[in-house]
Structure 1
Amino acid sequence: MLTPQRLLALDEGINFRELGGYETVDHRHIKWHKLLRAGELHFLTQKDIDNLTSYGVRYNVDLRSNSEVNAMHDPYLPNAEYIQAPVYPFECDRNLAIWQKIKEHFRERQQANQNHTHLTSLDETYIKMVTDPHALAAYRQLFTTLLANDTDGQAVIFHCTAGKDRTGVAAIMIEHALNLPLATIKNDYLLTNVIINDTLDDINQLRQQVNVPDNIGNLVNQMNNESIGQMNFDIINNTVLDSWHNWHNYFNDALQLSDRELNDLQTIYLE
């Protein structure tokens, strides 16, 4: 039986974490047994699967691409509905006009704020994750699932490969929607570095063994070779604030979440 705690004690879980217990700005708390973030599930043992079933997992939202899923499929989790919501491939990688428009807007906001930071390829990937139409559709699907998970004691897992980039962005979105303090959101994001750095080489070796043979595989390997940091967090947060002024506007406009849905999320996940 799994004990509710920040890092769940699974034999082969990668970066498998509970979001329960985090305190909001208005002093409520995220319920336990509701929100789980993770990396790769492919190597979970039968004991791990049994423990997750007992823990109340009802939905498994897989943020990985088709090629990743085909190469390293998730195990069957009894009682859990599997939902694939791939963040990659980015639409703006197929339609450069979309990316050019996003990048020009980002540059304009940088100039207005007298910020002239050079964008690395990793920075650009994070900007795309919170602005690209394909990525936004994936995250909207995640929120649709979160809204369906309205029974106490039933949990949603959302995961990618390492549980740090696509999953990290998802966690930032969810925690903003639940009104957590910025410092708490940042600390949860950076907690990945404490947990996962020793396992990144193992993850990449496993990926090479199963061979994800496309540009997405290359992108994922590149992302997994990088630790996350304060600058990555700032890029995500500043992209939203520069373009939408606040996270509430971002949820309404970019993710098409109504005020009623945002209120419902807080009712479902907070106590």
Structure 2
Amino acid sequence: MSRSLGTAGRRLVCAVSALGVIVAPTVLPTMIGTATAAPSRSVVAAPAAFDLAGTDNTRTFTSYRTTDGHAINDRVIRSDNLSRITPADQRKLSDDGVTSIIDLRTQIERTLQSDRPVPGATLETYDVLGAQPPTSLVDMQSSYRAFVTDASARQAFRKTLLDIKNTAGKSEATLFHCTAGKDRTGWAAAVLLTVLGVDRATVERDYLASNTFRHANANDPLNGVNIAWLRTSFAAADQTYGSFDNYVHQGLRLTDADITGLKKALLYDPNMGWTAYTPR
């Protein structure tokens, strides 16, 4: 499945909006705790696949809704590594407005499976586990705790979210990935979705979808994911910072303006078309 609107489509909507034809004033809260509380509206949808011949676990968040009913646009993609993408894949990513690739892997992983370039896209390497012992790549409980407690990991996730915000703010798209697109990518996706206001059930379903995309078992640490691992990260955020909201603000050092920026860049009212926010 391709992204719901290409670059040209987004530009057309922006132009129409500028003429005043489409108007969608929306209240955007900067606090994110509501995403982990009992939601007033919970829509658990299947993930939207983004078909690339050279990857197994590439998808967008366009099928999801926040607890207050907003939709997520197509300016962010989660994936496994890009070492096997085809020329057609490279063209597709470029044509769909991907201008930023974020690689969350260690140096040795990048050496063994180097990303193939996407025309017009820059590559940023934010090593999540480089400060951890090599065993962290297979000791999943330790890895998922380190996602929250390790300073280098927090810096990597902070930069990832800020890059997504800045790129989407220019109506361009970011693709972020690790090796299999399930653990480091899985936590980055969980944090992003929660910050945007998606309920926990949907966040967990998105995380577990890696088992379907990779045809893997939940008890296979190399190929699959287990919900207990994701919950280890959320628990570590609560234990270390007192709440997920505090983890985002204190651990990742994201400001209310950063959170509002992410929402403005990635959310829209599905009842009003592809419309940008005007937070109050």
Determine the C-alpha separation between the residues in 1 that align with 2:196 and 2:66. 7
Q: Is the 8 A contact 1:14 1:41 kept in 2?
A: no
The equivalent of 1:28 in structure 2 is 70
Shift of 1:198: 5.1
Tell me, what secondary structure is at the counterpart of 2:124?
Answer: strand
Q: Is the 8 A contact 2:62 2:71 kept in 1?
A: yes
Which ranges of structure 2 fall in alignment gaps of 5 or more residues?
5-46, 269-280
The equivalent of 1:257 in structure 2 is 254
Tell me, what secondary structure is at the counterpart of 1:157?
Answer: strand
Query: Which residues in structure 2 correspond to 1:1-271 (within 5 Å)?
Result: 2-4=2-4, 6-32=48-74, 34-90=75-131, 93=133, 121-151=139-169, 153-197=171-215, 223-225=221-223, 227-271=224-268
Tell me, what secondary structure is at the counterpart of 2:247?
Answer: helix
Q: Is the 8 A contact 2:64 2:71 kept in 1?
A: yes
Q: Which amino acid aligns with 1:224?
A: L
Q: Is the 8 A contact 1:20 1:35 kept in 2?
A: no
Shift of 1:70: 1.9
Q: Is the 8 A contact 1:31 1:269 kept in 2?
A: yes
Cα pair distance change 1:260/1:76, threshold 3 Å:
same
Determine the C-alpha separation between the residues in 2 that align with 1:83 and 1:23. 28
Tell me, what secondary structure is at the counterpart of 2:239?
Answer: helix
Q: Which moved more, 1:248-257 or 1:69-78?
A: 69-78
TM-score where L is the length of structure 1 = 0.76
Tell me, what secondary structure is at the counterpart of 1:13?
Answer: coil
TM-score where L is the length of structure 2 = 0.74
RMSD of aligned Cα (Å)? 2.3
Identity %: 27
The equivalent of 2:9 in structure 1 is none
Determine the C-alpha separation between the residues in 2 that align with 1:152 and 1:82. 17
Which ranges of structure 1 fall in alignment gaps of 5 or more residues?
95-119, 201-221
Shift of 1:144: 2.0
Determine the C-alpha separation between the residues in 1 that align with 2:221 and 2:217. 14
